Chain A
Amino acid sequence: MSDCSERCDTTLRDGIVQAERGISSPEGLKWTLYRKMLQIRRVEESLLQLFTRGILFGTVHTCIGQEPCGVGVTQALEPATDVVWSNHRGHGHYLAFTGDLQGLISEILGKASGACGGIGGSQHLHNRNIYTNGILGGTLPCAAGCAFAEKFKKTGGIVTVFFGDGAFGEGVVYETFNVASLWGLPILFVLEDNGYAQSTPKALEHAGEISRRAESFNIPITRLEADHAVSVWQTASGIVREIRRNQRPQLLALQTYRLAPHSKGDDNRDPQELEAHWAADPLKRHRQELAAEDAPRLEQLEQEVGEEIQRCIDFAINDKPMETAHFLKYVDQG
């Protein structure tokens, strides 16, 4: 397995370089990506409302404002063979990669029709090739192990793992960078740098430029402002192609911003800062582009997305939780 002999020059490059390689966006992609982003946004807004109304028990961490990251990257993957790992802020990744709207909503509402029968909840989702867990940084070596397995079994699949700037405080992240590079594992590390670890700004948590930390492991780094799903898709597509070809890890460092609170009501950021970012909301910008292109089509799309979500919420609310007896089979005997 070891590819130690193969030298790989670390590069710190701008996402635009990827875009210039001539990966052109297929017809309708902009619409597909918008539909996915809108679905994620509307679902998470609904979840926050359901929490306020006392219907949602537990917690949620929304990715409102960060949608281009998950939507753009997963669009570059093969859902049948590629593997995705995500963290506590994983609804967007899950929806974008699987499209399993009912499974997600029911899961978060704790119902039997949830992706994991309501056992996992918001932070612990699984469906075919996607796995999420709420322990920051701990998902990276698991993802690397999957990458090892896909390479070992020669499935052609690669692994993508999403994590935030906060996770960069965990030592296991660097252990994983090291092994992934040393062993030549086909894994795309996607840093979603939203500038905050829960309530703490990056400047109070990290010394230096965090994305450069991968450099000393010979992991090529691409930095990109994740303000448009198409440019994220374009950049990710180029990187994914390279990883498939050379079976080596890369880091895609996405600059993004979380418009909503860390979890629910816990936000003490400067209102002016928030206002400025809301003005640059990537969903709104994407929408304006489509409205100029075909306003009636946009209206229809938005109506469909809203209705579909409402149907899934209604179904989940009326669904029952998992039978207690079913869960009790998970109790250790002996």
Chain B
Amino acid sequence: MTYLENLNKALRELLETTSDVVIFGEDIMDPYGGAFKVTRGLQRDFPHRVLTTPISEAALTGLANGMALRGLRPILEIMFGDFTALCADQILNHTSKFRIMYNDQVKVPMTIRTPMGGGRGYGPTHSQCIEKLFFGIPDLRIVAPSIFYEPGKLLKQAVSDDMPVLFVEHKLLYPVELMTAGGSGTKVEHVPHILGYPISLLRNYASGKPDVCLITYGGVSRFVPSILGHLADEEIKVVACVPSLIKPLPTKLMCEIVAEASRVVIAEEGTGQWGWGAELAARLHESLFHKLCKPVRRIAALQTIIPASKTLELTVLPTAENIEHALLEMVE
């Protein structure tokens, strides 16, 4: 089953089993079924609970806020992750403020689903991973499913979560077959997390300690199986740590894994400066200063915009080769 099929199935099951779920977003009416078709077939079968909307991301986010405050569990689709900038005031000054500023007398159980990511030649405003704009916001959870754990299960968890969740999909993962059981020579383990979003650990070795740890999430997960395969050929033991909850960070488990490997590469698709990897590197440094035998290495997009041309886009975004090279350098 593909990443997209799994999400579509979960959305359908949510509509079938939960009467307070409402799904809305731009162009999600059938037969079109959404720009990336994640909601295909749902409006046809649930016409009163699956609503196509005007192009009004700020109002849509506010609508989700109001619905959630009054007992519904709205799922809002934002067509491109880039457009979450239009939701930003609502997320920052409304969604994520209500629970605390009203002293825990309300909850805001809403989910905003959106595809981030490049690799499709869509150019500067339709290719970004801008979840970093939201990482610093308290009382907001950010979940980014990889190919190693069913995105549909994570979506159900997000919808049943009493906290607001920004659910970051990756557009290049939609057609990818899930690898929840790992692949040839790679073991997958899903470590539970207290907030309900597991962390996937992948190992390309059967026993002993890892030589290096790779930490990444979301779209970059598609590179992990080949990287682990190549490095196994080189007899380099790699543990890949792929959390599904990317904010707040499951720091404790990450520190344990990194301590075991004592070398770590962090890979993300967004720009590196002020990014996810920067925060994670700081935490690893704070906890593991004496246990790391090399400085933390970060791989991310270059600090510029994402060009439309295929060659230029490949230059800007992180690739499997960049990551593999960084891992090799760590163990040299």
Contact = CB atoms under 8 A, between A and B. Distances in A.
Interface residues of A, number: 41
Given A179-B54, A333-B248, A334-B250, A142 B94 contact: yes
Contact of B67 (A140, A148, A172): A148
B309 interface: no
Given A142-B69, A145-B70, A172-B58, A179 B53 contact: yes
A176 B72 CA distance: 19
5 contacts: A116-B102, A146-B70, A149-B69, A172-B89, A330-B139
Given A144-B66, A330-B138, 12 more contacts: A83-B70, A119-B100, A124-B101, A138-B58, A140-B62, A141-B66, A145-B68, A149-B66, A172-B89, A182-B54, A334-B248, A334-B250
B54 A332 contact: no
A2 interface: yes
Contacts of A193: none
A334 B243 CA distance: 13
Contacts of A142: 62-63, 65-66, 69, 90, 94
B191 interface: no
Interface residues of B, number: 42
Nearest to A118: B103
Contacts of B63: 141-142, 144-145, 148, 179
Nearest to A117: B103
A159 B100 CA distance: 23
Contact of A138 (B56, B71, B93, B103): B93
A120 B59 contact: no
A139 to B, nearest CB: 8
Given A116-B105, A334-B251, A138 B89 contact: yes
B55 to A, nearest CB: 9
Interface string A119-133: 110001010000101
Contacts of B74: 145
Interface in A292-334: 330-334
A147 interface: yes
A84 to B, nearest CB: 12
A1 B72 CA distance: 14
A227 interface: no
Contacts, number: 137
Interface of A: 1-2, 83, 116-117, 119-120, 124, 126, 131, 133, 135, 138-150, 152-153, 159, 171-172, 175-176, 178-179, 182-183, 330-334
A135 B66 contact: no
Nearest to B70: A149
Kindly name the residue among B54, B103, B252 whose own CB sees the greatest number of chain A CB atoms within 10 A: B103
A8 B229 CA distance: 64
A152 B51 contact: no
A186 to B, nearest CB: 12
B184 to A, nearest CB: 34
Contacts of A334: 248-252
Contact of B97 (A117, A124, A178, A183): A124
A182 B24 CA distance: 14
Contacts of B89: 135, 138, 172
Kindly name the residue among A117, A146, A333 whose own CB sees the greatest number of chain B CB atoms within 10 A: A146
B164 to A, nearest CB: 13
Nearest to B195: A334
Interface in B11-33: 22
A133 B54 contact: no
